[in-house]
């Protein structure tokens, strides 16, 4: 698994993820990039799950954004519908945290498109640790990026499937 945290603070949106790829109890790679930016549509996304699944879902999200003129809400719902009903896609066990300047969502393979209460999302094996740390840090003077970095650091100190090699994207 992995840790992804999405922070929305002071008109900034930041998605940060660790870089660890594990196979069972073995670290295979420590510098994977699990956070991507969809440049044309000013959307950022982070992924918790296998790498092949991530690439497939990022491509699908990008095509949905193109089809729906950048409407993230509509694209997220359409992706979740495909993910849940398509024979191939429904086997993917993963979560995505996605955001644009207006909205943030968690998208799952069970058809969920969840808009969080508050301005923080945490997904993956260390997601709850990062979520808890970020919620506490939101009341400080720290920037969105600083909150995200610190939240991933906290998660990496607790979760064995999370490291502190960060990938960060902003909108």
Catalytic residue among 2, 26, 56, 140: 2
- Residue 141, helix vs strand vs coil: coil
Hey, which residues does 16 pair with through a beta bridge?
5, 168
Asked if residue 152 lies in contact with residue 161, where contact means CB atoms within 8 angstroms, the answer is no
Asked if residue 95 lies in contact with residue 48, where contact means CB atoms within 8 angstroms, the answer is yes
- State yes or no: is 2 an active-site residue: yes
3-state secondary structure 26-56: EEEECCCCCEEEEHHHCEEEEEECCHHHHHH
**C-alpha span between 8 and 124 (Å, rounded):** 18
Structure tokens, 102: 């207006």
Of 28, 39, 105, nearest in space to 70 by CA: 39
Active site residues: 2
């Amino acid at each position: 698994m992995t840790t992804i945290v999405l922070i929305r603070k002071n008109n900034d949106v930041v998605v940060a993820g660790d870089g660890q790829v594990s196979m069972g109890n073995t670290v295979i790679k420590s510098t994977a990039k699990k956070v991507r930016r969809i440049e044309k549509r000013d959307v950022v996304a982070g992924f918790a799950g296998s790498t092949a699944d991530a690439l497939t879902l990022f491509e699908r999200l990008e095509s949905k954004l193109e089809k729906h003129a950048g409407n993230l809400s509509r694209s997220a719902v359409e992706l979740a519908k495909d993910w849940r009903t398509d024979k191939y896609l429904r086997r993917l066990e993963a979560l995505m945290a996605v955001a644009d300047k207006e909205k943030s969502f968690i998208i799952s393979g069970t058809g969920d498109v969840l808009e969080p209460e508050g301005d923080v999302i945490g997904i993956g094996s260390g997601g709850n640790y990062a979520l808890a740390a970020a919620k506490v840090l939101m009341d400080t003077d720290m920037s969105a990026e600083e909150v995200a970095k610190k939240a991933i650091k906290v998660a990496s100190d607790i979760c064995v499937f999370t490291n502190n090699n960060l990938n960060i994207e902003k909108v």
